[in-house]
Amino acid sequence: MRHVVTRPDVPAPIGVPVPRRDGVAKVTGAAAFTVDLSVPGMAHAKILRSPYAHARIRRVDLDAARAHPGVIAVVSAAELDDVHLVYGHAVADHPLIAVDKVRFAGEPVVGVVAEDAVTAEEALRLIDIEWEPLPFVRDTAEALGDDAPVLHERPGEQRPHRGFEEDIRRTHANVCSSSRQAWGDIAAAFSDAHLVVEGEYHYPMCYAYAMEPYTALAQWSDDGLTVWTSGQHPYMVRDDLAHCFDLPLAKVRVVVPYVGGGYGSKSYTKIEPLTAALALRAGRPVRLALSVEEAILTTRGDAATVRLRTAFDREGHILGRHATIHLDTGAYAENSPLVGRKAANRLGGPYRILALDVTCDVVYTNTAPASSFRGFGAPQVTLAGESQLDEAAAKLGIDPLALRRRNVLDPGERPWPKARGIDADLAGDLALAAEELGWDAPLPPGRGRGICLSASDAGSEPITTAIVRVLADGSIVASCGSTEIGQGSSTVLAQIAAAEMGVELDRVHLIQSDTAAVSYDRSTGASRTTTLMGLAIQAAARDLREQLVEWATTALAPDGPAVEERRSGVQVGDTLHDWGEVVRAWFGGAAGEAVGRGYLRRSGATAEMPPFWEIGCVGVEVSVDEQTGRITIEKLVTVGDIGCAINPQTAEAQDVGAAMMGLGMATLEELVYEDGNLLNGNLFDYRVPRTTNLPELRTVLVERGDGVGVYGAKGGGEGALNPVAAAIANAVERAAGIRLREAPFTPERVWRAIQERDAGVAR
């Protein structure tokens, strides 16, 4: 790893106890996530799923299953007449269990609760259902046809906190939502153009492949509902549970233990309402643990078709872009309306574009629902946008790197009129990537290089709170609603609390992800936790320090001398007192504590949206075997423009992990449907990169202190994924003279492109 610090005072204040080079491996808050997911009387649930992509449920016979020994409850929609069955984050269109009809193969239809999982599985086979198969649509092209079957006869209700301001529009019966981003005179841009590049690009539907499948445990009591879940957004899950069961928020507790990976796929509500409904009918705590195959059918990423035209002048300046994006959201909206909004925003990239007109339609199909996924619309559109920059460079006779430098936004320049200015030196990032990749060094035949950029309006809404407490012995407890999903937040947030209170890291205990024990955080996603929760913890710590200085004045120096604040306490005269001494003195004994509060909203430094820009800057070197079509990634370079690496080790790991995920989706990963059924929905047939696929890795962490977060930090963890497919496509074009527009770039697709190239040469 190479570490580039271009501002000498990063990180800043009060002696941050943070390793500047080696990182911290210790997870300080681990004890907060140790939850025994087994409660007295717990039963186990299994789900009967639809074998049809689209069908009406004509008759359901549950009697034989109910009579099976060991079965506690058998539940279909008919048994839940006192529950609001439909929920959804952006659009309320998703029943927790099928009502009257199913819309994808794998949709839950009946839940069985039994003493053990084996008995529940046996009872599933005794359920008798009469189906009426219906016509179904396989992809967005079919779904948008004039005679296409309609998946949702009535539009789902718009939810109030869906993440963007404009109303959700439906331009077709199967369009879930439609978003538009536009500025400038698009007609003039194309009429004045010296060169117009156009094409259609396809990005696959993919599975996030977290180590832990979806799991939930629900328990009802006189105090309300408690759900333990492997979810990223406990407070949003709480909202949906309160809605489904008509409960006040105070009566719903959501606890998130340490989660085995998320990558966006565990955002928002998944199996929690169904688990709670089964527990309600069973009259006992119920645990529902999905298999990997069931998890794949629960959430995936949006597939995309992008039709893009880009106009250039003679010198290679971008005059305009016009695009239509179709995202395949599957059977239900989930969070895809916001993915569509972000895709429209991100197609322009980090470039100066005089005119732009992008429409993104999020389309229902009879496939598994799509939702949040690492990158959030950026990988889909970056493939198109960055491919066309290289295509234009070749036609204009300009080096692709020089073309990008000519068009990138300067620091502080706004990508569109109402957006926050870019908080990055993009030209500097390109230079670092080119240096690490050896951009100008000669290459043997069959090899090529590509460098690509992206910029994502990240951070989500800055609605975040935190609490920091000093106990009587001077140790620190920090409480926050952010979820640890493997990204290292439990270490980094503890580091920030330690830095702000001036204590050693092992004196800090972090509590996370229990809505009954910590304060509100909107979500864990959009690379926001270090930046936004970090600001809330910093604000809470500074509120706490201010209180403690006042307490010291009252308890330690009522008649003078002056109390002076120090890094880890106060000085009164010649005597230093740590924070614990101040607490004990104010309460008059070895007891008590002080509490600081931090609140974050759209105000001050976080008034403009997005809260920060997440930059993706990736370079690759590839070789192409023209006999087999196999692409080998020889070298992969990532530039992590993160403002301040509070923990360099975890920051590097996030960049490398994101880039490898991008490599998988670019070359291997794709969920394949045939006749309405998923063909490769298992870990054997769905292939991801392995250690044998690892290229030579070079990571650069850039610290310029230009972020809105603590010590100038800003988000990382998604950026390195977003440009990978485009960089590989451009490198392959330079290596083999073929233009790949459909990911993943499998050997077959590459081989066919080579055959078409050779046939064209022959003609």
Residue 161: the pLDDT is: 63
Q: Are 580 and 473 in contact (CB under 8 A)?
A: yes
Element (H, E) at 278: helix 272-282
Residue 193 or residue 762, greater confidence: 193
User: What is the predicted pLDDT for the residue at 16?
Assistant: 42
Residue 152 carries which DSSP code?
Answer: -
The 10s digit of each residue's pLDDT in 280-310 is 999 999 999 999 999 999 999 999 999 999 9
2-34+461-606: which CATH number, 3.30.365.10, 3.30.428.10, 2.60.40.10, 3.40.1160.10? 3.30.365.10
Average pLDDT, the chain: 93
Which band of pLDDT confidence, cut at 50, 70 and 90, is reported for residue 312? very high
Rounded Cα distance between 222 and 523, Å, is: 28
Residues 320, 355 contacting (CB under 8 angstroms): yes
Q: pLDDT tens-digit profile of 333-351?
A: 999 999 999 999 999 999 9
Listed by start position, the domains of the chain span 2-34+461-606, 43-136+211-261+266-296, 303-459+610-762
User: Collapsing DSSP states into helix, strand and coil, what is residue 448?
Assistant: strand
- Percentage of the chain surpassing pLDDT 90? 87
Can you give the pLDDT at residue 761?
A: 72
* Cα–Cα distance, 592 to 614 (Å, whole number): 42
If one compares 662 and 14, the residue with the highest pLDDT of the two is 662
Digit-coded pLDDT (tens) for 138-159: 999 999 999 999 999 988 888 7
Give the residue from 11, 7, 2, 23 showing the smallest Cα distance to 648: 23
pLDDT at 7 over 70: no
Rounded CA separation 300/370 (Å) = 5
Q: Specify the amino acid at residue 732.
A: V
Query: Looking at domain 303-459+610-762, which of 3.40.50.150, 3.40.630.30, 3.30.365.10, 3.30.1280.10 is its CATH number?
Result: 3.30.365.10
What are residue 355's phi and psi, to 5 degrees?
Answer: -145, 140
* pLDDT computed for residue 404 by the predictor: 98
Nearest to 482 by CA among 533, 526, 536: 533
pLDDT digits (tens, 9 = 90+) for 101-123: 999 999 999 999 999 999 999 99
Q: What angle do CA 37, 38, 44 make, to 5 degrees?
A: 105
For the beta carbon of residue 250, count every other beta carbon within 10 angstroms: 12
DSSP characters over 649-715:
HHHHHHHHHHHHHHHHHHHT----EETTEES--STTTS----GGG--EEEEEEEE-S-SSSGGG---
Pick the CATH number of 43-136+211-261+266-296 from 3.40.50.2000, 3.90.1170.50, 3.20.20.70, 3.40.50.1820: 3.90.1170.50
Q: What's the confidence (pLDDT) of residue 526?
A: 85
What pLDDT is stored for residue 6 in this prediction? Answer: 60
**Which DSSP string do the residues of 1-62 spell out, in sequence order?**
-EEEE-STT-S-STT----SSS-----TTGGGG------TT-EEEEEEE-SSSSEEEEEEE-
Q: What is the per-residue DSSP string for 516-545? A: TTS--BS-S-TT-IIIIIHHHHHHHHHHHH
Confidence of residue 84 (pLDDT cuts 50, 70, 90): very high
Question: Is the pLDDT confidence value at 12 over 50?
Answer: no
Nearest to 72 by CA among 108, 115, 40, 42: 115
Cβ atoms of 395 and 198 closer than 8 Å: no
Band the pLDDT of 5: cuts 50, 70, 90.
Answer: low
Query: What is the rounded distance in angstroms from the CA atom of residue 484 to the CA atom of residue 488?
Result: 7
Q: Which residues pair with 518 in a beta bridge?
A: none
Angle of CA points 73, 75, 77, to nearest 5°: 160
Q: What amino acid occupies position 119?
A: T
Per-residue confidence band for 69, with pLDDT thresholds at 50, 70 and 90: very high
pLDDT of residue 497: 97
Least Cα distance to 659 among 625, 693, 709, 613 occurs for 693
The SS3 assignment for 90 reads coil
Distance CA 756, CA 743 (A): 17
More confident position, 763 or 433: 433
Average pLDDT of the residues in 445-468: 95
Alpha carbons within 13 angstroms on the beta-carbon side of residue 300 total 31
pLDDT at 34 over 70: no
Chain centroid, CA 453 distance in Å:
19
The answer to whether 582 and 570 have CB atoms below 8 angstroms apart is yes
Residue 602 has pLDDT above 70, yes or no: yes
Domains 2-34+461-606 and 43-136+211-261+266-296 share a fold: no
**pLDDT score recorded for residue 167:** 72
What the block records as the tokens of 265 is 């796929």
Tens digit of each residue's pLDDT (9 = 90 or more) over 349-372: 999 999 999 999 999 999 999 999
The predicted pLDDT at position 164 comes to 65
Give, in order, the Cα–Cα distances in Å from 35 to each of 30, 56, 255, 478, 509: 10, 41, 9, 19, 16
Rg of the chain on CA atoms, in Å: 27
Burial class (CB in 10 A: 0-12, 13-18, 19+), 9: exposed
Q: Is there a cis peptide before residue 744, judged by omega within 30 degrees of 0?
A: yes
Q: How confident is the model at residue 28 (pLDDT cuts 50, 70, 90)?
A: very low
Taking the C-alpha atoms of residue 439 and residue 449, their distance in angstroms, rounded to an integer, is 7
Instruction: Say what the pLDDT of residue 635 is.
Output: 97
pLDDT of 20 above 70: no
In the structure, what pLDDT confidence band is assigned to residue 763 with cuts at 50, 70 and 90? low
What SS3 string covers 314-338?
A: CCCCEEEEEEEEEEEEECCCCCHHH
In whole angstroms, give the CA distance from residue 290 to residue 284: 19
Structure tokens at 581: 């001494």
- In the prediction, which pLDDT does 15 show? 36
